[in-house]
Chain A
Amino acid sequence: MIALSLEFFKLRRKRIFLMIILFLLAQMVWAFLSLSMSMSKNNVAHPQWEAVIAVIASMNGLFLPIISAIIVSRVCDMEHKGNTWKMIVTTNINRKQIYLAKYVCVLLLLLFYVILQTALIALFGLTNDFISPAPIILLGQYILGTMITSTTIVALQQWVSLSLKNQAFALCLGMVGGFIGMTADLFPAIIRQFFIWSYYTGLSPATYLFTENAATYISRPLDPFMLIIALILTAILYAAGSWRISSKEI
């Protein structure tokens, strides 16, 4: 707990919450404008929650890898810049604890992003005359699926950000991930599984089915196979990163 609270303490004056909120607003303005335009174009009188969740999950494929890379980079870069590893390592807290604290810190910040995002989805639904009230279970599954994907992506980003001093590489990886996440739905399902950035749509509780000349939005349970793959990948990436940083000579 000491290590975790210190991670938040170290983020003082980094304006990380402001950055998260601005980034989220950019995504949501884009998403809601495109949804509103689509609804008015198609004369949808009573839009579905599934449509909003599916569209935003798809946009998360672009936005969340990038914001994850930025947050991880902010949290890790200060240790490189200040040469602080040698200070931390010579105290009685070990590197694995610090690695875990950083990981949890980033995930809590992303959870803040996703919860705020979910609240905006609910607000959008309530102000747009949706058929049913806000579906708590569906939104809960949405948060779960998004966060599980984030645990994998953050594990990868943190490994890279702490291993390499130059954060340009980590940020590039986030952007490449965003590009793959955005275009992942175009790949065949078997190939999609190799790209963790595509899991935002893969683990979304809502998706769309293409019929002859239209798309139908449906809800679905979280894919257990994909869930297990994501968790296994998280464990592997986290363990590899933690081992690498703990055994590195300073």
Chain B
Amino acid sequence: MNENAIVATNNLSKYYDQICRVNKVNMVVKEGEIYGFLGPNGAGKSTTLKMLLGLVKPSEGNVTIFGKDWSKHRQSILKQIGSLIESPSYYGHLTGIENMRIMQRLRQVPNKNVEEALRIVRLENQKNKKVEQYSLGMKQRLGIAMAILSFPKLLILDEPTNGLDPAGIGEIRELIKSLPQRYGMTVLLSSHLLSEIEQIATSVGIISDGKLLFQGDMSLLKARSRASISIKTMDNGLAIKTLFPYGFMAEPKKDRFFFNYMSDSQVAHINKLLVDHGIEVIRIEENKMSLEDIFLELTGKERSL
């Protein structure tokens, strides 16, 4: 296990009626990072997060949080986790502050945390209003306030921007981004929106059909989007043979051949070699995969983006 891992799962799996929803997931969330857990709808994100919180029992595998085995240290682990799963939980007939008081007593934290959490999510002026009269965005912010009430070491947020308008999404995004630096929290955030994860997360895990397909720094994922060079000539076979002795190994595909990323001078050199050998060059193009392309390639799905 990674030494500074806050969350580590080992072959975590969940079956419902023999249908595998989460398949041997080995997730590692390091201290201080914002881990974006990305996947299409129904990929197994919420089920995985629920297993981390003990809302769902794993069929196989185990969970280690703060270096402790979840099954043996449930209470001490939960004390240090704040969470918002799927939709905010609240008592609609009570006011915002009353809901916070319930959470305060359940978590046994001081009074000042309630005011501070409401201030952070900018609900202090609405705290005496019944929650059933709140807008969706306000309910979502209340849910986040409840999650950060104890200023936990680990904050788990499942689709926290669901149902919010663009302004609300931006506001929540900035709030989440600020939490690790301001309060030393590690954030595990799930979303089906690549753009959201791209803007918030420092590392990412991509899940599809219950399988964790990619995990690592955001920079590693972005590195996959480095450009490739495609060339189309009047005789591609001859062109590939011609370039090979010069150390350029091309990969033919359809009506052109491809090189991994290369500098401008290398592209110019290849062009000159082809022309010098009498091969007519029709097209030289730079192809760059977007994160969206990478995501689609990984998940094999064109949905929920």
Question: What is A's interface to B at a CB cutoff of 8 Å?
Answer: 2, 5-6, 9-10, 12-14, 78, 81-93, 249-250
Q: Is the CB of B55 within 8 A of A6?
A: no
Question: Contact partner of B78 among A5, A9, A90, CB < 8 A?
Answer: A90
The residue on B at minimum CB distance from A13 is B93
B107 near A250 with CB under 8 A, answer: no
Q: A9-B101, A86-B85 are in contact. Are A92 and B93 (CB under 8 A)?
A: no
Question: Which B residues between 61 and 104 are near A, CB-CB below 8 angstroms?
Answer: 75, 78-79, 81, 83, 85-94, 98, 101-103
The 10 closest A-B pairs by CB, nearest first: A87-B89, A91-B106, A250-B55, A84-B89, A249-B56, A83-B89, A92-B75, A90-B53, A82-B90, A82-B91
Do A92 and B78 form a contact, CB below 8 Å, given A87-B146, A249-B56? yes
Please give me the residue from chain A that is nearest to B98 by CB atom: A12
Measured CA separation A85–B85 after assembly (Å)? 11
Measured between beta carbons, the chain B residues less than 8 angstroms from A13 are: 93-94
Cβ of B94 and Cβ of A249 under 8 Å apart? no
Among A78, A88, A250, the residue within 8 A (CB) of B56 is A250
* Bound Cα distance A87, B131 (Å): 16
Q: How far is the CA of A82 from the CA of B142 in the complex (A)?
A: 13
Could you say which residues of chain A place their CB within 8 Å of the CB of B50? 86, 249-250
A9 touches B102 (CB 8 A): yes
> Shortest CB–CB separation between residue A248 and chain B, in angstroms?
10
User: Residues of A contacting B94 with CB < 8 Å?
Assistant: 10, 12-13
Taking CB atoms, residues of chain A closer than 8 Å to B170 are none
Q: Does B110 contact A (CB under 8 A)?
A: no
Contacts of B98 in A (CB 8 A): 9, 12
B163 at the binding interface (Cβ < 8 Å): no
A92-B108 Cα distance, complex, nearest whole Å? 9
Known: A83-B87, A87-B146. A6 touches B92 (CB 8 A): no
**If the complex has contacts A10-B102, A83-B87, are A90 and B81 also in contact, measured as CB distance less than 8 A?**
yes
Q: Let me know if A78 and B93 touch, CB within 8 A.
A: yes
- Extra pairs beyond A83-B90, A90-B54, A93-B106 (15, CB < 8 Å): A2-B106, A12-B93, A12-B98, A13-B93, A78-B93, A81-B92, A82-B89, A83-B87, A83-B88, A84-B90, A86-B89, A90-B78, A91-B106, A92-B106, A249-B50
User: When the two chains form the complex, which single residue of A5, A10, A14, A91 contacts B107, counting CB atoms closer than 8 Å?
Assistant: A91
Give the docked Cα–Cα distance between A81 and B101 (Å).
19
B57 on the A face (CB < 8 A): yes
A1 to chain B, nearest CB (A): 10
Cβ of B156 to closest chain A Cβ, rounded Å: 9
Q: List 11 A-B contacts (CB under 8 A).
A: A5-B105, A81-B92, A82-B90, A82-B92, A86-B50, A86-B86, A88-B106, A91-B106, A91-B107, A92-B106, A93-B106
Chain A residue with the shortest CB-CB distance to B149: A91
Taking the closest CB of chain B, its distance from the CB of A84, in whole angstroms, is: 4
Contacts of B78 on A, CB cut-off 8 Å?
90-92
**Which one of A2, A78, A92, A249 contacts B91 once the chains associate, using CB atoms below 8 Å?**
A78
Which residues does chain A contribute within 8 Å of B105, judged by CB atoms? 2, 5-6, 9
A92 near B79 with CB under 8 A, answer: yes
The CA-CA distance from A5 to B104 in the complex, in Å, is 13
> Cβ of B91 and Cβ of A10 under 8 Å apart?
yes
Of A81, A84, A92, the most chain B CB neighbours within 10 A belong to A92
Task: Write the chain A residue with the least CB distance to B93.
Answer: A13
> Within B36-63, which residues are at the interface with A (CB < 8 Å)?
50, 53-57
- A78 to B107, alpha carbons, bound, how many Å? 20
CB distance from B141 to the nearest CB of A (A): 15
Which A residues are in CB contact (< 8 Å) with B53?
Answer: 86, 89-90
Contact A92 B89 (CB under 8 A): no
Q: Which residue of A lies closest to B92 (CB)?
A: A82
User: Which residues in A have their C-beta under 8 angstroms from that of B90?
Assistant: 82-84
A92 to B146: give the CA distance in the assembly, Å.
14
Please name all residues of chain B whose beta carbon is closer than 8 Å to the beta carbon of A78 when the two chains form the complex: 91, 93
Cα A89 to Cα B102 with chains together (Å): 13
Determine the distance from Cα of A8 to Cα of B83 in the docked complex, in whole angstroms.
25
CB <8 Å contact, A92 and B107 = yes
Beyond A2-B105, A6-B102, A12-B94, is A89–B55 a contact (Cβ under 8 Å)?
yes
Say which residue of B57, B91, B107 sits within 8 Å of A84 (CB atoms).
B91
**Which chain A residues lie closer than 8 Å to B101 at the CB level?**
9
* Closest Cβ–Cβ distance, residue A6 to chain B (whole Å): 6
Task: Report chain B residues within 8 Å CB of A86.
Answer: 50, 53, 55, 85-86, 89
**Which B residues are in CB contact (< 8 Å) with A250?**
50, 55-56
Measured CA separation A85–B93 after assembly (Å): 16
Interchain nearest-CB distance for A94 vs B (Å): 8
- Known contacts being A91-B78, A250-B55, is A6 close to B106, with CB within 8 Å? yes
Known contacts A88-B106, A91-B78, A92-B107; A249 and B93 CB within 8 A of each other? no
